[in-house]
Structure 1
Amino acid sequence: MAEHYFSENPNSHEKIREFEAFIRGIKFRFRSGSSVFSKSGIDAGTKLLAEKCIIRPGWKVLDMGCGYGPIGVMAAYLGADVVMADINRRALQLAAENVLLNGVKAKTVLSNAYEHIADSDFDTILINPPEKAGLEVCIGMVRDAPAHLKTGGFLQIVSRNRVAGKRLSSEMKAAFGNCEEIARRGDFSVYASVKR
């Protein structure tokens, strides 16, 4: 069976790729590799979330399922206090390298969803959910998010507009009592829910 980006310990031969990408008009450099999500460049969903998410300097941010780290690196560049979490050890190592490569500060945590995330006072949680891992994994990330947000904090997720996006936005409304589409581009939407 082929490995996918939701594997904790990828065994495939590691092929590293470096590339530049612009997010919010800022040029970043990233290292990516085999057995991580969107290894050749920033995918459309991640880019939309990185460009349109609501973020402020000084905020405590959780980049859940960070992959090689484009969202967390961007948030740290903007002055947020960032925790980047992923189940994939290879992706997390690349995220740590990308933090250094871009001269920002962020903490990396090996975690299957919120398993090793003890904090309950994040201002925002940013997620491009791992849909290939299954919709139930993604729904779990939504349902468990309120326990890790402070009052007034919010969850921001990007998803395809069709089935997954509709289901996840519905789950966000059930978990938080509210959900709003804050951005849309092509097949992707960014949804936000506030913890009240």
Structure 2
Amino acid sequence: MKEHYFKERPESESNQRIIQANLLGHPFSFITDSGVFSKQGVDFGSRFLIENVEVLPGDRVLDLGCGYGAIGISLRVHYSQLQMTMVDINERAVQLAKENWARHCLQENMKIMESDGFAQLQSDQRYDLIVTNPPIRAGKAVIYRWFRDSVSYLAPNGRLWVVIRKQQGAQSAVQELSHYYPIVDVVNRNKGYWLIRAVMN
């Protein structure tokens, strides 16, 4: 049986590989492993988010559920002034994200840590931008908890960007986000994926 990637301590035997990807016009090579999301290549949803998210110079960014780091690392390479924080519940994914960060010679303006959503982040920490390709297999209770908690970690005019497939609950995600955010819109759609933006006042 395929192991669920949304767990703290993966039990599957490690089987690392290196994958290649071109994101935002930059070549990347990422170390991946069993027990983490999309180990065979950067998935379409993550690519869709990376290529379309609106980033401002100097944004404090949180990559929520970072996996092996494709979203956060590619954004940090392309937008060099970002302050990047990356979190994941999966210890193997976090270690990979750290190794992949180092592979791309990114030394500063970063924090990568284990956290179940926002649990290990400082309560007074604020971000200008939170990006997530949420763990659908973890269920709506987890994802909606992330939506609710994100409000407390965004700066004024902060933005949450979420990519999710229509058949996996994009419409209900929009409705749920509307309970917490004054502005929620679908920025783009492609191949059944919706790119959703929620903005604080």
Length-normalised TM-score, structure 1: 0.96
Query: Corresponding residue for 1:100?
Result: 102
Q: CA RMSD in A?
A: 1.2
Tell me if the contact between 2:136 and 2:168 (Cα under 8 Å) persists in the aligned partners: no
CA–CA distance in 2 between the matches of 1:48 and 1:19?
A: 18
Q: 5+ unaligned residues in a row in structure 1: which ranges?
A: none
Per-residue deviation at 1:163? 4.7
Q: 1:113 aligns with which of 104, 112, 117?
A: 117
Per-residue deviation at 1:56? 2.4
Per-residue deviation at 1:57? 2.9
Q: 5+ unaligned residues in a row in structure 2: which ranges?
A: none
Aligned residues: 196
Per-residue deviation at 1:136? 1.0
Query: Structure 2: which amino acid aligns with 1:88?
Result: N
The more displaced of 172-181 and 90-99 is 172-181
CA–CA distance in 2 between the matches of 1:93 and 1:156?
A: 24
After TM superposition, list the pairs within 5 Å mapping 1:12-23 onto structure 2: 12-23=12-23
Length-normalised TM-score, structure 2: 0.94
After TM superposition, list the pairs within 5 Å mapping 1:27-176 onto structure 2: 27-77=27-77, 78-79=79-80, 80-105=82-107, 106-118=110-122, 119-176=124-181
Counterpart secondary structure, 2:179 = helix
Query: Structure 1: which amino acid aligns with 2:70?
Result: P
Query: Structure 1: which amino acid aligns with 2:131?
Result: L
CA–CA distance in 2 between the matches of 1:135 and 1:67?
A: 19
Query: Structure 1: which amino acid aligns with 2:10?
Result: P
Which whole-Å deviations, capped at 9, do the CAs of 1:126-176 have from their partners, x for residues lacking one? 010101011110111111111000001110000002351111111111110
Which whole-Å deviations, capped at 9, do the CAs of 1:34-78 have from their partners, x for residues lacking one? 000000000111110111111123110000000000001012111
Instruction: Provide runs of 4+ in structure 1 moved above 3 Å.
Output: none
